[in-house]
């Protein structure tokens, strides 16, 4: 116990030093204006990595005996106990209210991992997407691959296309897929390095479901930017992200079949990259309609804290002590059926 206390103190000191003041100042100004009173408790969690939590997503393609009882012994419980509009029996995720992390598994070529460690809120876009067996699915910005893996825990798409434009992140995606998915299923997938803004023109009206987990200002990692100059550059480039996100969304809509649905997600609290991007698409594209996800939000309200006042087609998970999940913004849209 004393050793862990000593380690925690050491870790606290180490992590405390790494908070990037220029990013924190920027967030302080923006999020006080956008989130009001909610910001101070969110800031406390974001700047305290020792209180962060990690959920454990089990891999249905690799059943390790005793794993679930081992998780239960360590205080983990099924993450989504409520009846949700969409919760396949094959999607099994465990979470704990205590901070800390279950031991990670190393990548071993030719051997599947038993579980994936993740922020539990990152499963919400997958649950909102409601993928069914046989559907044609596109994960437009797929790296590092956690949501692609989660989709395959839910269903077996007829055609599953995982795309990642960035070279380094693309290799990371390939390794994640190789670590969790058996070869016969990988052979049915397409993993590409296309510019996501062009996929809609390359494959118009091809997919039933599209996930756009967009490149965004990652609030958690940006707060710990080791290089202040890089942080300043990131904050300057931040203004351009919403334009890229809108272009990716527009491309995804083109790639969607009439009647198909799309989920957009980010891991930032920024309104400019969340609601504003979605509102711009809804106002500029008459074939796009919002889809109500409030029933899903109600079903998981025991596990997550949401920003109040959002519209029915969107939600924003706010990290809180004991529920340190998020930030995670999720919005669901549908393409009108052709008449």
pLDDT tens-place string over residues 269-319: 999 999 999 999 999 999 999 999 999 999 999 999 999 999 999 999 999
Lowest model confidence (mean pLDDT) among 97-111, 158-172, 212-226 = 97-111
Percent residues over pLDDT 90 in the chain? 87
- Is residue 20 annotated as part of the catalytic site, yes or no? no
Q: What is the pLDDT of residue 101?
A: 81
Give the global pTM: 0.94
CATH 3.40.50.80 fits 21-335, yes or no: no
Q: How far is CA 187 from CA 110, 177, 182, 207, 210, in A?
A: 14, 11, 9, 19, 20
Residues of the binding site for S-adenosyl-L-methionine: 141-147, 164, 195, 213
Provide the mean pLDDT of the chain. 93
Task: Exactly one of 156, 216, 267, 285 is catalytic; name it.
Answer: 267
pLDDT band at 6 (very low <50, low <70, confident <90, very high): very low
pLDDT band at 339 (very low <50, low <70, confident <90, very high): low
Percent residues over pLDDT 70 in the chain? 95
| Cβ(317)–Cβ(334) below 8 Å | no
Q: How far is CA 237 from CA 72, 129, 233, 244, in A?
A: 44, 30, 6, 11
Using alpha carbons, select from 184, 176, 183, 171 the residue that is nearest to residue 151: 176
Instruction: Inform me whether the pLDDT recorded for 230 exceeds 70.
Output: yes
| pLDDT tens digits, one per residue of 93-152 | 999 988 878 899 998 888 999 999 999 999 999 999 999 999 999 999 999 999 999 999
Q: What is the pLDDT of residue 268?
A: 98
Residue tagged 């071993």 (tokens): 108
Please spell the DSSP secondary structure of 43-82, one letter per residue: HHHHT-GGG-B-EEEE-TTS--TTHHHHHHHTT-EES--S
How many C-beta neighbours within 10 Å does residue 189 have?
17
| pLDDT tens digits, one per residue of 242-280 | 999 999 999 999 999 999 999 999 999 999 999 999 999
Instruction: Inform me whether the pLDDT recorded for 17 exceeds 60.
Output: no
pLDDT band at 64 (very low <50, low <70, confident <90, very high): confident
């Amino acid at each position: 116990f004393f050793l862990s206390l000593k380690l925690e103190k050491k870790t606290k000191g180490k992590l405390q030093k790494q908070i990037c003041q220029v990013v924190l100042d920027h967030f302080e100004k923006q999020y006080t204006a956008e989130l009001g009173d909610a910001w101070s408790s969110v800031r406390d969690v974001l700047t305290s990595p020792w209180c962060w939590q990690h959920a454990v997503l089990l891999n249905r393609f690799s059943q390790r005996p005793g794993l679930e009882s081992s998780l239960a012994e360590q205080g983990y419980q099924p993450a989504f106990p409520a009846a949700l509009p969409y919760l396949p029996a094959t999607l099994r995720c465990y979470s704990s209210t205590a901070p800390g992390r279950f031991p990670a598994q190393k990548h071993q070529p030719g051997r599947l991992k038993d579980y994936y460690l993740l922020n539990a809120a990152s499963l919400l876009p997958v649950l909102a997407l409601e993928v069914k067996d046989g559907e044609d699915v596109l994960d437009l910005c797929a790296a590092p691959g956690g949501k692609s893996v989660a989709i395959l825990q839910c269903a077996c798409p007829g055609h599953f296309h995982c795309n990642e434009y960035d070279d380094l992140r693309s290799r990371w995606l390939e390794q994640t897929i190789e670590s969790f998915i058996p070869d016969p299923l990988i052979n049915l997938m397409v993993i590409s390095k296309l510019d996501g803004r062009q996929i809609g023109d390359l494959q118009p009206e091809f997919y039933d479901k599209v996930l756009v987990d967009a490149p965004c200002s990652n609030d958690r990692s940006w707060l710990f930017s080791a290089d202040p100059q890089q942080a300043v550059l990131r904050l300057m480039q931040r203004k351009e992200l919403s334009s890229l996100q809108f272009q990716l969304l527009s491309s995804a809509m083109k790639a969607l079949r009439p009647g198909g649905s799309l989920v957009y997600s980010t891991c930032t609290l920024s309104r400019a990259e969340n609601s504003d991007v979605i509102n711009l698409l809804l106002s500029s594209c008459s074939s796009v309609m919002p889809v109500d996800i409030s029933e899903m939000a109600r079903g998981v309200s025991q596990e997550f804290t949401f920003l109040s006042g959002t519209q029915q087609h969107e939600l924003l998970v706010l990290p809180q002590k004991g529920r340190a999940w998020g930030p995670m913004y999720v919005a669901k849209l549908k393409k009108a059926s052709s008449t």
